[in-house]
Structure 1
Amino acid sequence: MHRPATLLLGFLFIGSAWAQEDKKTDDLKPADPDTGESTVEETTLGLLPRPFERWGIKFAATYIGEALGNPSGGLKRGSVYEGRLNLAVDVDFEKLAGLRELTFHANMFQIHGGGLSRGALLNFMDVSGIEALPSTRLYEAWFERKWGSHLALRAGQLAADTEFMTAKYTDVFTNASLGWPAGLSLNLPGGGPSPPLAAVGARLRADLSDNLTVLGAVFNGDSAGPGPDDPQLRNRYGVNFRINDPPLVLGEAQFLWNAKKGDPGLDGKIKLGGWRHFGLFNDQRFDGAGVSLADTASNGMPGLLRGDFGLYAVAEQKIYRVGGDDDRGIGVFARASYSPPDRNLINYYADTGIEFIGLTDGRPKDKFGVAAAYAHVSPRARALDLDFQRLVAPARPARSFEGLLTAVYQYEIRAGWTLQPNFQFIVHPGGGATNPLSSLPGKALKNAEVFGLRTVLKF
């Protein structure tokens, strides 16, 4: 483990973050990986002492607790309570030690409770962004350094979901796929660098102009490492610090308009990006000899294909502003992605939605959102299901797609404390059936209704 430590110390003196006073700062602040809210914001309950802030050290704690239940659909009916405590520290080394434009961020999770998607629904798009196996684990730990006001390097143990394929108006939603989309989480090893597993890597960000930003990042391609069991068990405490697996590379260009605070026009953004993984991926239908995995002549081991990639686009636009307030109003978003079908379970993914923020003067911080998402089962995976129909059981269902409709209201009880009732309707959980190679081969899954109540407290 001395190699990652050496890597981090090396980056300490070559690369960090800056904060321009415009809307682009939404993408730059260290954020809670599920609420999307900055861990360094002052809007808290004010329960934590702040004796070290004059030295550039800030501590933050965010607790998310929620109850979820599905009265119908999925594999079975169920209800759970789950929670996650996020403890974070941010250090400004210019205040602490005179090292200009150098910062540090780290956070850890204490995760407890059950998971409704894992235990009862078996769907693709997890109904909660905090669903994970119970554990206490390190999540992120990175340094960031800037050059001037337009270039920044971040390095250490990083997450990708706070910067890549993000949309500003998804922050109110509680479904995990409206944060880190299923087109990435289901196709990348271990779900990719996203909660609850970040990965060792580095990210370079450049603001080329007020209207154009580019990002590039390289990560260790599997934060848990290879193995047949759950990746969260292989990296139970978030301290594997793996650096020898085939890499994952991401790139994104962001085109902005009306991006400055106070611009009279309505702000918006288009993002175009992609990823490339250099590891081996399982064929979704055939073994190494080209025989269907449903055939008794197959050895039962999926064929291995070299490398994988994905392309994506994001659009977001504010369509109404309340007075001169840059934060309040109505915003819309849409995202879409593609990955090759022979080695990916999901080849097409798309979501879209609308968010209403502080429309009344009496409730300026309340939010309401409605969204829909679609995850298409790749033709290669569906062909395997049809092989099982033909060769094993004619009545066995074939997977097609999973759809999601969701509505969420976020009510601010007081600064730092919110309550979020939410509803999700899941069409064809798991594509309509379980994986034919799983422990529940080809089990039909019915449409599900999920009711939830989440509370978020920032101390």
Structure 2
Amino acid sequence: MFRKIITVPAAVYACFSLSIFQAEAQGSSPDAHAFSFEDRLTRDWGGVRRTLAEHGVQFQLTDQNELWAVPVGGSQPSNNYIGDTTGQLSVDLGRLTHLPLGTIGISGVDIRGHPFSNQPLYVFNQVSGIEADINLRLYEVWYGQTFDHDRLDVRIGKLDLSHDFMGSDGAQQFLNASFSWPMVPDNNLYDQGPASPLSTPAVRVKYKLSKSWTMLAAVADDNPIGAGFLNEADPWNQNQDPSGTRFHFGTGALMFLEAQYHTQLWGKDGTYKLGGYGDTGRFPDQADPTVRHKGNWTFYAVADQVLAHLAGKQTIAGFARATWAPPTNRNQIVNAVDAGLLLNAPFQRENDVLGLGFGYGEASPVLRRSERRAGTLAQHTEYHLELTYQFQATPWLLIQPDLQGMLSPSGGVLDSAGRRVKDEAIFGLHSSMSF
């Protein structure tokens, strides 16, 4: 069984959620003189943007474009373009009204281009995180407020939970979608889970227990689109709600819990996370889609660690993330791992990053046995490799050349012509511009 999947990496969010915006989104109030717009092409709009920010109103527009070439592998060579434009508005009601209120936020995304990871590549995980159905859609809308001297942070609304859960800071530097939103939830949850460009009605709570420990929890609807789990006519289901304005309740509840530990090992910063999610919805059996199973769950662990300080501002950092979905009869991907190394400030360029990443996702043994009994090619494990370089050309323009390799796409599948899909070499060029 093969179905299309879609995520947009949290790295996209990081590109345009700058420090000032993030501070306001958490309900804090930076000093009015601290606002700087040097990292945006349109600067401060002749002072208008600074005045709005001093009153708690911030707006940002980010445009991303990608060109991809697949000269080797897949079902056929291809060249592809994809892109999106995202707008965010944040209003700090406390700063605006001088009352003890929180922050409201709203964002939308305009998606263009044609996804290519399903065909002709036939992969479990997207080559790019910004592949999606062509739509102009609402992304997030929420209200957030902090309590207990900012130790408790509560947010409610239509949320992308990948911003808070299962994330690795190091993994966000890569373009392959599985580094930002892991392959396990991406393939196993309704509509690939609450990850950009999709969001879902949710309540998210974050509590800082101490300098080292942070706890996060969320309860959400488990079906961002509100459509069925399998849809042969529209596998991504995004066109069932092209505007993103549906607030669905009724399939089941998705619950996340995560503990974060911030520490120093050998004098170097590290963050370690342990968590899991549970879903009360019903999921099709991997051997017989007409059979449904009640409930689903997954566990995960994430590590981000600075490994060495080199000359000047250069550092080497590593990351690793493992996800495990025990119910093999209702999950297409039962375990996956992502890991990599990052050289920060290569050539002494402070904002550049050179990264090498690796990952794999293993298909369910129940699915594999079913395919063998049916006399078809059995899916096993897909592997992905990525070499990438983030070049900060200007404070507002990021250029990122990228090279990926896909080994055993979808763990071994046949294309529409009945031929086994070959291993793939993929060349990409990404740009992100902040206005």
Give the TM interval when normalised to the shorter protein.
Answer: 0.7 to 0.9
Report the CA distance between 1:43 and its aligned residue.
5.2
TM-score (normalizing by structure 1):
0.83
> Which SS does the other structure have where 1:128 is aligned?
coil
What does residue 154 of structure 2 align with?
A: 153
Query: Would the alpha carbon gap of residues 207 and 344 (structure 1) be closer, same or farther in structure 2, given more than 3 Å must change?
Result: same
What does residue 333 of structure 1 align with?
A: 319
223-232 or 146-155, which deviates more:
223-232
Are the equivalent residues in 2 in contact too, given 1:251–1:273 (CA < 8 A)? yes
> Which SS does the other structure have where 1:62 is aligned?
strand
What does residue 98 of structure 2 align with?
A: 98
Are the equivalent residues in 2 in contact too, given 1:32–1:39 (CA < 8 A)? no
What does residue 23 of structure 2 align with?
A: none
What does residue 42 of structure 2 align with?
A: 47
What does residue 410 of structure 1 align with?
A: 390
What does residue 392 of structure 1 align with?
A: none
* 2:102 is aligned with 1:112: no
What does residue 331 of structure 2 align with?
A: 344
What does residue 270 of structure 2 align with?
A: 268
Are the equivalent residues in 1 in contact too, given 2:40–2:395 (CA < 8 A)? yes
Report matched runs for 1:313-328 at 5 Å.
313-321=301-309
User: 1 CA distance for matches of 2:310 and 2:346?
Assistant: 7
Give CA-to-partner distance per residue, 1:104-153, whole Å, 9 cap, x none: 22211011011120332120110001000111011111111011221110
Query: Would the alpha carbon gap of residues 73 and 324 (structure 1) be closer, same or farther in structure 2, given more than 3 Å must change?
Result: closer
What does residue 220 of structure 1 align with?
A: 221
Report the CA distance between 1:302 and its aligned residue.
2.5
2:353 partner letter: K
Are the equivalent residues in 2 in contact too, given 1:425–1:449 (CA < 8 A)? yes
CA RMSD of superposed structures (Å): 2.0
- Aligned residues, how many? 398
Report the CA distance between 1:36 and its aligned residue.
2.4
Give CA-to-partner distance per residue, 1:55-111, whole Å, 9 cap, x none: 110111111101001112122221111111011111111111123361122211011
User: 1 CA distance for matches of 2:334 and 2:405?
Assistant: 22
Unaligned runs of 5+ in 1: 1-30, 287-300, 390-395
> Which SS does the other structure have where 1:376 is aligned?
strand
Sequence identity percentage: 30
> Which SS does the other structure have where 1:284 is aligned?
coil
User: 2 CA distance for matches of 1:234 and 1:85?
Assistant: 21
What does residue 260 of structure 2 align with?
A: 254
Give CA-to-partner distance per residue, 1:289-331, whole Å, 9 cap, x none: xxxxxxxxxxxx5311111000000011011236796xx5221
What does residue 71 of structure 1 align with?
A: 71
Query: Would the alpha carbon gap of residues 74 and 208 (structure 1) be closer, same or farther in structure 2, given more than 3 Å must change?
Result: same
User: 1 CA distance for matches of 2:312 and 2:345?
Assistant: 13
* 2:308 is aligned with 1:308: no
TM-score (normalizing by structure 2):
0.87
User: 2 CA distance for matches of 1:347 and 1:254?
Assistant: 24
User: 2 CA distance for matches of 1:63 and 1:399?
Assistant: 37
Are the equivalent residues in 2 in contact too, given 1:65–1:454 (CA < 8 A)? yes
* 2:407 is aligned with 1:427: yes
2:238 partner letter: Q
Are the equivalent residues in 1 in contact too, given 2:15–2:432 (CA < 8 A)? no
User: 2 CA distance for matches of 1:378 and 1:443?
Assistant: 22
Are the equivalent residues in 1 in contact too, given 2:141–2:158 (CA < 8 A)? yes
What does residue 249 of structure 2 align with?
A: 243
What does residue 82 of structure 1 align with?
A: 82
Unaligned runs of 5+ in 2: 1-8, 20-36
Are the equivalent residues in 2 in contact too, given 1:332–1:354 (CA < 8 A)? yes
User: 2 CA distance for matches of 1:324 and 1:215?
Assistant: 36
